Amino acid sequence: MSNANYRLISLPVIQDIRGSLTPLDFQSQLGFLPKRLFMISDVAPGTIRGEHAHRECIQALHGVQGRIKIIIDDGRQIHEVMLENANSILVLPAMNWATIKFLDEHSRLVVYASETYSESDYLRNYSEFINLLNIGVSSGVQ
């Protein structure tokens, strides 16, 4: 059983002589309305960020510039997703340990979050993350 129920969404692109327009309806396409975003930029190629999970917060990762590799650890399996164009968005449910590797100069990642910022929602200790997953399994929550 895996809880890696992430989704990689390809956004439609409307092209005309004035350029490309990419629309996104948050509720119907991502399944949530974002309360905040954060943007990560000025990252040296090869830099690793993330390396935490969230207890409740759902996130949608939008690589608006450069190639960005997302490594998703659900406690059982590792999954890799490459964000390499701005028309893809990765929806990442809570309780996935995510590692973000920036591959290109001038990469820029925008993350939309279902919750306002709360440090207590962050799981920064991998053992604690695994323990919480195991409690979930034993209590039938998963």
Residues that bind a second copy (CB under 8 A): 15, 18-27, 33-44, 47-49, 64-65, 86, 102, 108, 110, 116-117
Kindly tell me which of 3 and 88 has the beta carbon lying closer to a second copy: 88
Least spacing, CB of residue 136 vs a second copy, in Å: 29
Ordered strands of the 59-65 beta sheet: 7-10, 88-92, 59-65, 108-113
In angstroms, the first-to-last Cα distance of the chain is 9
Residue appearing with tokens 């997302």: 70
Enumerate residues 6+ apart whose C-beta is below 8 A from 103. Answer: 45, 46, 66, 67, 68, 69
Nearest distance from C-beta of residue 48 to a second copy, angstroms: 8
Smallest distance from a second copy to CB 11, Å: 8
Quick one: 96 or 107, whose CB is closer to a second copy? 107
